[in-house]
Amino acid sequence: MPEQFSQPSAEKYLEVIESRAYTELLQAQERVDSLMQEIKKVFAQTPDIREAERIILETYASQLSVAQNDASRALEDWVDSIREQHQLLSSDRP
């Protein structure tokens, strides 16, 4: 946190950061959910399980891996932003 912020300004700044981080987390999780729905459709629409698995490996596996990594990073960022807010608020107490 920049030193030039007063306590109320810093608190508001961290609230904005936390809100953005939460929005990014929701978006990342929605991407994972969307890909999982697509994978579910492939299984439902492809009678041959091996063919379904091939389609999933070729089409969705790398996308899902990236999306899950993004969601994991977004979760860490959101938790860190909450932690920063709590540390700021705790430092304000006597």
Express each pLDDT in 61-74 by its tens digit: 999 999 999 999 99
The pTM assigned to this predicted structure is 0.79
* More confident position, 85 or 28: 28
Does residue 1 lie within any of the structural domains?
no
- The DSSP call for residue 92 is T
Domain coverage including residue 32: 7-91
Domain count for the chain, please give it: 1
Inside any domain, residue 2: no
CA distance 27 to 8: 29
